[in-house]
Amino acid sequence: MKDQKNQLGQEKGHDPHLRVTSQDHDPANSGISRRGFLGFAAASIFLAGTDQQTSRPESRNGIPYRMLGRTGEKVSLVGLGGYHLGKQADPQESIRIMRTGLDEGINFLDNCWDYNGGESEIRMGNALRDGYRQKAFLMSKIDGRSKAAAADQINESLRRLQTDRIDLLQFHEIIRDTDPDRIFAEGGAIEAVLESQKAGKIRFIGFTGHKSPDIHLKMLATAAKHSFTFDAVQMPLNVMDAHLNSFEKKVLPLLLKSGTGVLGMKPPPPWSAFTTR
């Protein structure tokens, strides 16, 4: 494993979450316009700035875009979160939400092999039919820590999502101190992911976690010991993070220095932040 390096995908293809909310929290019903909502969300959700982002920001239909690290891919400043998109009573509503987002300029789609028992990926796969796959930068995640489990989950995600390629595949919930060593061990999940990347099933590789910045740092250090560099890392980034065991203070500077794509998650919703009930 020590000599294996992450080969960035050559093909140019097309827990960041835009919440699907109940009517009680609908921005349209709370005095916040669509543009205002996206502005609040963009300010708190997604993609910290990098040196590559000094040029004039690009936008599509008013949605700002940013370069995702060194991948060469531009993605929308806000994304559609797959967990919430598996919760609607009517699957057609989930499809409508995703297609509307893609039509309006949001291209970053988040999902995971385990969300809602696979229902989130199934609904997203149906939404990506009829040419919508070409509009999306598709991210999903796996939980497997062994090579066999990871390979099975990758193939199942591809089947559910009705695609032959996932743009960004991430190791989900790196929250245990043992996770990095298990993934990079002989017969670990990294072997299946690299083989899938070589086969063209995935383009870029990242990991997520929401528990401890120190575990994120261990994951990065373990990868470096195996001559591997992640393309993207996902973590909580919000106004409260800086005050306790901060991902922003401990992890973010390393990612920006290396040109790794940064995905922020778990922002407070703008219409209910810091309120009590």
Asked if the model's pLDDT at residue 141 lies above 70, the reply is yes
Residue 133 DSSP one-character state? G
Model pLDDT for residues 190-201, shown as the tens digit of each residue: 999 999 999 999
> What pLDDT sits at residue 267?
82
Cα-Cα-Cα-Cα torsion 194, 196, 201, 203, nearest 10 degrees, comes to 0
Which has more confidence, 195 or 9? Answer: 195
Q: What is the DSSP string of 167-213?
A: EEEEE----STTHHHHHHSTTBHHHHHHHHHHTTSEEEEEEE-SS-H
> What pLDDT sits at residue 61?
86
CB contact at 8 A, 164 and 207:
no
Which has more confidence, 190 or 55? Answer: 190
Model pLDDT for residues 114-133, shown as the tens digit of each residue: 999 999 999 999 999 999 99
How is the chain split into domains, by residue range?
23-265
What is the Rg, in whole angstroms, of the alpha carbon atoms belonging to the chain?
18
CB contact at 8 A, 110 and 17:
yes
Asked if the model's pLDDT at residue 13 lies above 90, the reply is no
CATH fold label, 23-265: TIM Barrel (3.20.20)
> What pLDDT sits at residue 56?
63
